[in-house]
Structure 1
Amino acid sequence: MNVTVAFLETSKQLENFNFSNKNKYLILCTQNSKLDLEKLNSLNIEYYGAIFPKLIFKNKIFEDGYLICILKNNVHIEFIEDMNTHEFDNSTLSNYNTLITIIDGLSDYNTAFLESMYEHTNINSTIIGGGAGTFEENKKHLFNNNGFYSNSSIIVMIDNIIDIGVSGGWQVLDGPFVVTSSKGKLLKELDYKSAFELYKAAIEKDLGKKVEVKDFYSLMKDYPLGIVKNDEKYILRDPISFQKDFLHLAG
């Protein structure tokens, strides 16, 4: 698979980009960036996209901009409008060696969807991907020619075999703690104590100062929680909001 990637900083550059109806496009953009689907549709191209808080390109982090992945027409892309109702029974997932998946990271259905997807995938296939979304409530974070969607997913299916190496890059600040009370994505207690108060204390210990509650929405993205695995790696869970003593997690 040949993929060309371009980074554009402004909506004007996006509108003037040299799109071709001979290709398909995966458009990743930041939450600060303007996105006009009517203008994209006027270009008569097939595109799929997702919105993120920030983007990384060539070792730099951008709060504004668009990452354009140019895909050949023979690359198969499936846009799932509703992960809750989607069935994989007639899917062609097992015919491909590599799957790149972008899901609505804030959806209540993403875990069940990914488990079902995995069951219908070739056991030797490589699956990579991540969750789109921002801290803005009730916003739809995935899109295609037909509009914006929530509880949705994009699956790019590729014949090529790729190897991956993954490292979180996070440092352990405190713990481990035992989850003593939770419900769904709501974390209530750690070690029989308020999850939020314990989380707040760990951040204040790292920063070396007291932190006001109102500042936590900007801090939470830098302090994910880690679930310990047997191989000393961690499954990360990002807090996205809090209420009283509880933390609401993205997954």
Structure 2
Amino acid sequence: MAIVFSSVHVERTATLEGLREGIGLALERGAKSLLIFLCSRPQYDLQQLPALFAELPVPVFAGVFPGIIHDQEHFHDGALICGMTLELTPCLVEDIDRPDELIAEELAQCFPGASPAGALLLIDGQSRGIDNFVACLYDRFGPDTTVFGAGAGYLDFSHNPCLVTASGVYQNAAMVIGLPVPLAFGVHHGWESIAGPFLVTGSEGNRIQSINYQPAFSFYRDILEGHAGQALDFSDFFSVAKSYPFGMAQLDSEYLVRDPIRSQGEVIECAGSISPNTMVYILHAKPPQLIAAAAQATLELRPKLAPNYERAESLYAVVVDCISRELFLGPDYPAELASIQSALPQATLIAGILSLGEIASSSQGVIHFLNKTTVIGGAGR
């Protein structure tokens, strides 16, 4: 982001000493605060990090993610250490599945004055309180604050602590970092409907129990096998489901995607909630469609960027790309990163994360928690 990053450094050892050295490099480059994206495999010893962060002369906030992105490369190990030109302190909210009024009260205490121009949101990507928290954040900020962020979590979809500050390690929590500059972003995914609409007749949070009054898993399996023209092996549920997400129609954009990540009997668990009585479609795509959509998101972003992106060197655009896109594309994933880079101003670099959910304000200002989507952002005009 044009005036936000003083440096971006990749640390590949996944050791505390390596992280300490990378932080030292960022401080030498003038960082006034640090944003750190930690890969979940192999995992840093998170319990050691608060003490390390507390020793530092600047605020530090970190999240665990399935992977990191830097300059058209992506990694599942190490960390991305981002030095910030501004001294930024996150608002940490725990237990985000609490009632709305308690979340709203805490956000009002964190942001008592005017709403920031932009905000970065890191949130536990497997919490059942995501949609509730995002709605409360929108109620506090309103439509004029542009919000950009990601769901934190693990490559194996285990639900463990994934946010870190000098005060501790947190699960079922969110960090909001207010910014004095507006953010701009492009959002696209490339998935298209192959079946539907169908009615979600039973759901609770992110768990779908029935579709069209039939058990959810059996209904979903039959649709997929009909499309594939053969029986499918669901012993590894996600290996099949990553190619067939759910979609909810929106008036002004592509489908809002929900990623099925596991099944428990007849219940399908998604990354993100689906309310009862929602109409859903089953989506599918080929790799070229996803790669083209990532380029389209970048082209959507480019005219919204601050003018200095077109004339300055070594500025960063930030990519938040769903981990399931990388898993779906496999060896084709570098082509997606190349398509993003080629659509940016020539001297603009990319850095970012592979996430468990992507976060972006819509054109109306409403904050959406997305799945299987490419979101690319930077400092706006």
Greater RCO (CA < 8 Å, at least 6 residues apart) = 2
Q: Find out whether 1:47 has 2:50 as its counterpart.
A: no
Name the aligned partner's letter for residue 67 of structure 1: L
Q: Which of the residues 8, 31, 34 maps onto 2:40?
A: 31
Which deviations, in whole Å up to 9, do the C-alpha atoms of 1:29-86 show, x marking residues without a partner? 2220331343673462232111122333333332223122211343342222332354
Higher helix share: 2
Q: Find out whether 1:9 has 2:12 as its counterpart.
A: yes
CA RMSD of aligned residues (A): 2.6
| Partner residue in 1 for 2:164 | 143
The whole-number CA distance in structure 1 between the counterparts of 2:227 and 2:10 is 35
| Partner residue in 2 for 1:123 | 143
Distance 1:163 1:61, change over 3 A: same
Which deviates more from structure 2 when the two are superposed, residues 174-183 or residues 200-209? Answer: 200-209
| TM-score, with structure 2 as normaliser | 0.59
| Partner residue in 1 for 2:213 | 192
Q: Which of the residues 94, 102, 115 maps onto 2:122?
A: 102
Is the 1:51–1:142 contact (alpha carbons within 8 Å) kept by the matching residues of 2? yes
Offset of 1:230 from its aligned partner?
2.5
Is the 1:76–1:158 contact (alpha carbons within 8 Å) kept by the matching residues of 2? no
Distance 1:191 1:39, change over 3 A: closer
Which deviates more from structure 2 when the two are superposed, residues 233-242 or residues 167-176? Answer: 167-176
Name the aligned partner's letter for residue 19 of structure 2: L
| Partner residue in 1 for 2:70 | 57
Offset of 1:109 from its aligned partner?
1.6
Is the 1:197–1:245 contact (alpha carbons within 8 Å) kept by the matching residues of 2? yes
Distance 1:94 1:219, change over 3 A: farther
| Partner residue in 2 for 1:159 | 180
Offset of 1:122 from its aligned partner?
4.3
Secondary structure of 1:107's counterpart equals coil
Secondary structure of 1:102's counterpart equals strand
Distance 1:163 1:141, change over 3 A: same
Distance 1:39 1:88, change over 3 A: closer
| Partner residue in 1 for 2:91 | 78
Q: Which runs of 5+ in 2 are unaligned?
A: 273-381
Q: Find out whether 1:242 has 2:260 as its counterpart.
A: no
The whole-number CA distance in structure 1 between the counterparts of 2:180 and 2:73 is 30
Secondary structure of 1:214's counterpart equals coil
Is the 1:225–1:238 contact (alpha carbons within 8 Å) kept by the matching residues of 2? yes
Name the aligned partner's letter for residue 11 of structure 1: A
The whole-number CA distance in structure 2 between the counterparts of 1:132 and 1:118 is 20
The whole-number CA distance in structure 2 between the counterparts of 1:108 and 1:28 is 22
Q: Find out whether 1:68 has 2:81 as its counterpart.
A: yes
Percent identical residues: 27
Distance 1:153 1:26, change over 3 A: same
How many residues of Structure 1 are paired with residues of Structure 2 in the alignment? 251
| Partner residue in 2 for 1:179 | 200
Distance 1:212 1:142, change over 3 A: same
Name the aligned partner's letter for residue 143 of structure 1: V
Name the aligned partner's letter for residue 205 of structure 2: G
Is the 2:92–2:176 contact (alpha carbons within 8 Å) kept by the matching residues of 1? yes
Which deviates more from structure 2 when the two are superposed, residues 122-131 or residues 83-92? Answer: 83-92
The whole-number CA distance in structure 1 between the counterparts of 2:82 and 2:146 is 19
Offset of 1:94 from its aligned partner?
3.5
Name the aligned partner's letter for residue 29 of structure 1: L
Secondary structure of 2:132's counterpart equals helix
